[in-house]
């Protein structure tokens, strides 16, 4: 079964850190881009970070730049989001989602696989 | 930054009736490969978002053919030919073309009358 499973969320105080993980299975992970998307309580979706299939290209939303770091380990079929200097406004559900893939050329079929999400709560 | 603007934000629909959601981007989503990079996602209550339409008009696997997408450049539309009860949720348009990564519309909440 093709799936992504997030973990690592929890309650943390402002200024604290968390490391989220996104574990993939059922597909050739190393060929796919991965995105982190978050959703604050009762709000819409926000793209947080992006990493290309081999990790060479990385992007961050302005709201997290300098505080969050995305990485991947293709040998472990996993992507990570290291979140430092957390703020109350970082509270929400964090999803990882599969994007396009490189197989000789770039192929995009939408973000067709999403995880179930992991909840991050930043509060004192 | 590309800004995505959806309308309406709330959409009450009678079952069996059609529905339409508009999405406008602040910059063209036409890529040099000829595709308009605009997707539609549905987030049903209590669930993760799910892909409905990619590259403007391509239905994702398993999506009923009552869903269709159209548009080009900066103006896009999602249409549901006959709304069913299972279609309730929040619909988002999204552009994956340019960084910062992924910008979504505000969301359109579809409810059954």
Question: Does pLDDT of A118 surpass 80?
Answer: yes
Question: What torsion, rounded to 10 degrees, do the Cα atoms A23, A69, A108, A111 define?
Answer: 60
Nearest-by-Cβ selection for B49 from A45, A49, A50: A45
**Mean pLDDT in residue range B68-73:** 98
Residue B70's CB: how many other CB atoms inside 10 A?
A: 14
Is the Cβ of B37 closer than 8 Å to some Cβ of chain A? yes
Residue A103 or B62, more confident: B62
CB A79 within 8 A of CB A22: yes
Q: Do B103 and A95 touch (CB under 8 A)?
A: no
Q: Chain B contact for A19, CB < 8 A?
A: no
> Is B60 in CB contact (< 8 Å) with chain A?
yes
* Distance of alpha carbon B100 from alpha carbon B69, whole angstroms: 24
Q: Which chain B residue's Cα is nearest to A93? A: B48
Instruction: Tell the burial category of B46 from Cβ atoms under 10 Å away from its Cβ (0-12, 13-18, 19+).
Output: exposed
Interchain CB contact of A42 with B (< 8 Å): no
Q: Looking at residue A102, what is its pLDDT? A: 85
pLDDT at position B51 over 80: yes
* Distance between CA atoms of residues B78 and B69, nearest Å: 5
Is residue A23 within 8 Å of residue A72, measured between CB atoms?
no
Residues in chain A, total: 124
Give the 3-state secondary structure of B94-108: EECCCCCCCEECCCE
- A57-85: per-residue pLDDT in tens? 999 999 999 999 999 999 999 999 999 99
Using the structure block, give the residue that is written with the tokens 């992924």.
B102
Place A104 in a pLDDT band, splitting at 50, 70 and 90.
confident
pLDDT in tens, A4-43: 999 999 999 999 999 999 999 999 999 999 999 999 999 9
Q: Give me the half-sphere count of Cα atoms (radius 13 Å) on the Cβ side of residue B92.
A: 26
- Residue B56 half-sphere exposure toward CB, CA atoms < 13 A: 18
CA atoms within 13 A on the CB side of B28: 7
Q: Are A64 and A120 in contact (CB under 8 A)?
A: no
On chain A, the residues whose CB falls within 8 A of the CB of B106 are: 44
């Amino acid at each position: 079964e093709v799936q992504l499973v997030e973990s690592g969320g929890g309650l943390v105080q402002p200024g604290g850190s968390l490391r989220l993980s996104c574990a993939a299975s059922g597909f050739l992970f190393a060929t796919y881009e991965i995105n982190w998307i978050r959703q604050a309580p009762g709000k819409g979706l926000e793209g947080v970070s992006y990493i290309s299939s081999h990790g060479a290209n990385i992007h961050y939303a302005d709201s997290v730049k300098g505080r969050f770091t995305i990485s991947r380990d293709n040998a472990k079929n996993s992507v990570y989001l290291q979140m430092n200097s957390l703020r109350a406004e970082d509270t929400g559900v964090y999803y990882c989602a599969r994007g396009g893939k490189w197989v000789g050329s770039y192929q995009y079929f939408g973000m067709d696989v999403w995880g179930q999400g992991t909840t991050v709560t930043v509060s004192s | 930054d590309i800004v995505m603007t959806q309308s309406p934000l709330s959409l009450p629909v009678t079952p069996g009736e059609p529905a339409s959601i508009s999405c406008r981007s602040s910059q063209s989503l036409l890529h040099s490969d000829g595709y308009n990079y605009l997707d539609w996602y549905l987030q049903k209550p209590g669930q993760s978002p799910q892909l409905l339409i990619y590259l403007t008009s391509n239905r994702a696997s398993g999506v009923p053919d009552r869903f269709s997408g159209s548009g080009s450049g900066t103006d896009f539309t999602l249409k549901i030919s006959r709304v069913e009860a299972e279609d309730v949720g929040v619909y988002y348009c999204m552009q994956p073309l340019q960084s910062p990564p992924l910008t979504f519309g505000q969301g359109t909440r579809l409810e059954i009358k």
